Chain A
Amino acid sequence: MNREEPGHLAPALQPPSQPAAAVEVLSAQKTYPDGTQALLPVDLSIRQGEFVTLLGPSGCGKSTLLKMVAGLLEPTDGRLHLWQRPVARLAETGKKMAFVFQSPTLMPWASVQANVRLPLDLAGVPRAEGDARVADALKLVGLERFAKALPRQLSGGMQMRVSIARSLVTEPDLLLMDEPFGALDEITRHKLDAELLDLWQKKNLTVIFVTHSIHEAVFLSSRVVMMAARPGRVVETFDIDEPYPRTPDFMVSPQFTRHAKRLQDSLLRASAHHAEQETP
């Protein structure tokens, strides 16, 4: 696929043979009642099976955009579609969505198993079937031996794995992740990044991943959406047209550096632009 020009968004470049978009953001924007523009109008189309990263500094609206896709926030104006339906009517499409928060967001009183089973319990899945699916999900994240443990007995990385298992147990089509590994140490983060890519390929997921790390974005994504702050907006999008599976070697390759450099330049340009605006 051709690399896009800066500022040029994906839909126009899609070859006709591409399947319909999984996620469509149509001029969605968010303005708070006090007039703060959290996010200027965004147009974005994400195909089934893409791994898209929203990259930018704090205050660029990346979490806001993700929460609008999740239906946790309403756009002030514009629309968001998931498989050609408004977000609120996702159920009609037969597709499922899961959300992973920045913190593990587990119930401290419940075992790992009960935590992972939560979305199934809420959906009324019978206990026996639920337990079988929980066991599969825990196996996927390598925590099958910790089913009976309580969250506080696990390390931060393991708790995050539980959170990921909980999101996978419903067999989602779309996985939304809000800086999921931001609070973890670098080594654990690399490990979980690699595991996530593995799961993405195995499960044929569509992932929208929020991060402020250029390296994480290049390593994971098939496409990076660069965002900037004050006001929050999309600056440009980049294709990371490197083959999967990506190994740790990819992180020290010249291609990796080249992509990282492009992203960094874009980030600098966006903040320089911002500085010009600020200075009279």
Chain B
Amino acid sequence: MNTATLPASPSAPAARATPAASAARLPLLSQPRFQKIAYPVAVGLLLLALWQGLVTGLELPPYLVPSPILMVKTLWTDWVALGTSLLVTVKVTVLAFVAATIVGVLISFLFVQSRRIETALFPYAVLLQVTPIVAVAPLIIIWFKDPTLSMVICASLVALFPIISNTTLGLRSVEPDLQSYFVMNRATRVQTLLRLRIPSALPYFFGGLRISSGLALIGAVVAEFVAGTGGTGAGLAYQILQAGFQLNIPRMFAALLLISLTGVALFVLMNWLTRLALGSWHASETSSD
């Protein structure tokens, strides 16, 4: 990983050649990259086999615990309804995540303008974080009426805090000597922000994004439990509720699977974005272990 992201430079070739060459000589089973994928996959397969074995062996009825095979079958047969719902949930999640990112970053910029502003407003950001969204959701639905908008607002509120706190911390985490260097060279406020504060904040910001992407999905599902409607606007939470009422447990599991996969996909996407932005320079992405 380390070697792959190195840009060409006169010092690089020697360093680049060694790990790659040694990795090629190792048997496949001992290669770190192979292990990173193979180990979790092996655990997953083992658990699935155990699950399938228990369901078949103990003859558990599908309305209690469906087997993994039945779950996948249901996913296939109910794909039209589940796929449509998946799109709705993903839409709410992405909109909320984007909104939380934009608002969170703007609030952070406001906070770092002065300690006074931060001191005065930070407790309210915490208040936002500690108030359970389930408790606030009915109020938001009454205010905004439109279910999609209400859900997006609820999910944004859940996803907002990590972005505010991480980005604020990042914008303040400038190396003191580098800060002095900017002062000595009479850098303007804007120059310091663009050339020093924002790049210094990026690792923290992306850390916040990673947490918030997961929270946005959780927020979207929770909000739909409270605010959701059926019909074309039905998301995965609605499918789970309906399946519960109808004791259609395989379908409930299929919907759960889709939610989990969406979460994993978001996490992978955030990791990829982080590597894209920081890969070449930041220690969190350049260390090899």
Contact = CB atoms under 8 A, between A and B. Distances in A.
A99 B199 contact: no
B77 to A, nearest CB: 50
Interface stretch (B30-38, B105-113, B173-181, B229-237): B173-181
Given A150-B7, A153-B6, A108 B282 contact: yes
Contacts of A271: none
Interface in B238-286: 278, 280-282, 286
Contacts of A149: 7, 9-11
Nearest to A102: B177
A110 B281 CA distance: 8
Contact of B281 (A105, A108, A118, A154): A108
Interface string B173-202: 001011011111111000100011001001
Contacts of A152: 281, 286
B183 A72 contact: yes
Interface stretch (A119-127, A223-231, A250-258): A119-127
Nearest to A73: B180
Contacts of A123: 185
A103 interface: yes
Contacts of A70: 184
A142 to B, nearest CB: 12
B181 A101 contact: yes
Nearest to B181: A105
A193 to B, nearest CB: 22
Contacts of B280: 150
A146 interface: yes
A122 B191 contact: yes
Contacts of B9: 146, 148-149, 153
A105 B202 contact: no
A154 B6 CA distance: 12
Nearest to A155: B11
B46 interface: no
A122 B194 CA distance: 11
A118 B199 CA distance: 14
Q: Secondary structure at chain A's binding surface: helix, strand, loop or mixed?
A: loop
B12 interface: yes
Nearest to A149: B9
B12 A153 contact: yes
Interface residues on A, range: 20 to 34
B142 to A, nearest CB: 46
B281 A109 contact: yes
Contact of A118 (B10, B177, B195): B195
A71 interface: yes
A148 B9 CA distance: 7
B163 to A, nearest CB: 20
Given A107-B199, A122-B191, A146 B10 contact: yes
Contacts of B187: 122
A145 interface: yes
A188 to B, nearest CB: 15
Contacts of B195: 107, 118, 121-122
Residue from A103, A145, A151, A152 whose CB has the most chain B CB atoms within 10 Å: A152
Contacts of B7: 148-150
A70 B181 CA distance: 10
Contact of A119 (B11, B185, B202): B185
Interface string B118-155: 00000000000000000000000000000000000000
A95 to B, nearest CB: 14
B184 A71 contact: yes
Interface string B1-29: 00000111111100000000000000000
A28 to B, nearest CB: 18
Nearest to B11: A153
20 contacts: A72-B183, A99-B181, A99-B184, A101-B180, A108-B281, A109-B281, A118-B181, A118-B195, A121-B195, A122-B185, A122-B191, A123-B185, A146-B10, A149-B10, A151-B281, A152-B281, A153-B9, A153-B11, A153-B12, A154-B11
Q: Which A-B residue pairs are the 7 nearest by beta carbons? A: A149-B9, A105-B177, A122-B185, A101-B177, A109-B281, A109-B199, A108-B281
